[in-house]
Amino acid sequence: MADYHDDLRLAHVLADAADAATMDRFRALDLKVETKPDMTPVSEADKAAEELIRHQLQRARPRDAILGEEYGLEGTGPRRWVVDPIDGTKNYVRGVPVWATLISLMEAGEGGYRPVVGVVSAPALGRRWWAAKGAGAYTGRSLSSATRLHVSQVAKLSDASFAYSSLDGWEERGRLGGFLDLSRAVWRTRGYGDFWPYMMVAEGSVDICAEPELSLWDMAANAIVVQEAGGTFTGLDGVHGPHSGNAAASNGLLHEELLEYLNRG
């Protein structure tokens, strides 16, 4: 099995640099925010963090490609770094601390690119999560000070905690009925949003989560953390990995029921 320790260590270095840049502008009164063509916000901090990560990767891994939310794809080859400089920009610009930098390394293989390293760093929460293929998932302050993650063992939907981002996307895609049925069937629902539900699935404090519309950079790092913690990460179509344009994550025991509900009209 390939050893991704050096790549994981680099991802932590990149996250450290991004954390410094994003925290420097968090809650700044003069933060500049623009609206992208898809009507979502982008701040100067999003752009600065991605530029910083790209420059460091170009020096440390010049042969690797880079795909980022703000500046697209650069380079080709079997290894591709995927970056979301600030996942949760709407929270960031309003001063809500639930946002994170997502960094993943994906490798080409049978069936396409798959994440092999992922780091999710949420500096305003004082939290970081990470994983490497075959090496498990962890949370902590650093590689040397970490706790291994394990998904929950909740096996009944009526005992499950379900996390989501919002209702709008489900309604727009004609899936609101199934979403509401699921929310009634579970023990508890909470709209934590963005990266956080996936990390809580990985650490066993939430049992299932899902989102109806996502991009690759929203999912790649989350996917490997959930998988290495023993969970299941698929699209709503049941295809494993972060390529379906939407996501469902669980402790594995509840995944079939999760998909069954969310694919109802």
Q: Rounded distance, CA 233 to CA 258, Å?
A: 11
Q: Which of 40-49, 74-83, 171-180 has the lowest mean pLDDT?
A: 40-49
Question: Rounded mean pLDDT of 41-70?
Answer: 93
121 token code pair: 């760093």
Q: Rounded distance, CA 22 to CA 101, Å?
A: 9
- Give the pLDDT of residue 39: 64
Closest CA to 232 of 216, 248, 214, 211: 248
Element holding 23 (H helix, E strand): helix 5-25
Which comes out higher in pLDDT, residue 79 or 31?
Answer: 79
Are 120 and 199 in contact by the 8 Å Cβ rule? The answer is yes
Closest CA to 100 of 231, 233, 199, 211: 199
Q: Rounded distance, CA 254 to CA 262, Å?
A: 12
- Single-letter residue type at 99: W
- Give the pLDDT of residue 141: 83
Closest CA to 46 of 25, 75, 16: 25
